[in-house]
Amino acid sequence: MSLPGWKQLPIGAVILTPGSSVEYKTGEWRTLRPEIDQEKCIRCRTCWMYCPEGAIQEVEEPYKTKTGREFKLTYKVDYDYCKGCGICANECPVKAITMVEEVI
């Protein structure tokens, strides 16, 4: 990717587009990746509450466990922004989130 040179950049590092921080993907900072075991997850929303980056997404996607339990929602990790801090895994009351080493 080619980045703008000093003549192209707005002076004083002013950012002229509001809300543009979403374009800054912080996922590559991660060394450990949280993975949610949908079978163990009880949809309690604790990870969603604790995530400091808002990187846990609550998706309206039904899920049926092997034991027959049905959920209307599924929790997913937005890996574009998740920095891998592990707070979700630490807080999860049923240990449904595992931190897995990122391998390049």
Partner 1 sequence: MGKVLPLGGNYAVAYAVKACDVDVITAYPISPQTTIVERLSEFVANGELNAEFLHVESEHTALSVAIGAAAVGARTYSATCSQGLALMNELLYIMSYIRLPMVLTIVNRALSAPINIWNDHSDFMSVNDSGWIMMMSASNQEAYDEILLGYRIAEDPRVLLPVITSMDGYIQSHVVEPVEIVSDEEAISFAPKRRSWVTLDPDKPVTMGPVGDPSYYFEFRRQLWEAMKESRKVFDEATEEFAKRFGRKYSAIETYMLEDAEVAIVGMGSFMGTIKAFVDRARRDGVKVGALRVKLYRPFPSEDIARALSNVKLVGVMDRALMPGSAAGGHLHHEVAFALRQAGLETKTIGFIAGLGGRLLTMDNVKQMVNVLINYKDKTVKELPKEPIFIGVRE
Whole-number Å distance between alpha carbons of 102 and 45: 25
Q: Two tokens at 25?
A: 């993907």
- When asked if residue 72 is in the footprint of partner 1 (CB under 8 A), the reply is no
Whole-number Å distance between alpha carbons of 86 and 70: 27
Nearest distance, CB of residue 4 and partner 1, angstroms = 8
Stretch in the footprint of partner 1 (CB under 8 A) among 1-9, 38-46, 76-84, 92-100: 1-9
- When asked if residue 93 is in the footprint of partner 1 (CB under 8 A), the reply is no
58 forms beta bridges with 75
Which residues from 7-66 bind partner 1, rule CB under 8 A?
Answer: 9-16, 18
- When asked if residue 80 is in the footprint of partner 1 (CB under 8 A), the reply is no
Whole-number Å distance between alpha carbons of 81 and 30: 9
Q: Which is nearer to partner 1, 6 or 70 (CB)?
A: 6
The answer to whether 79 touches 88, Cβ cutoff 8 Å, is no
Q: What is the contact surface with partner 1 in residues (CB under 8 A)?
A: 3-6, 9-16, 18
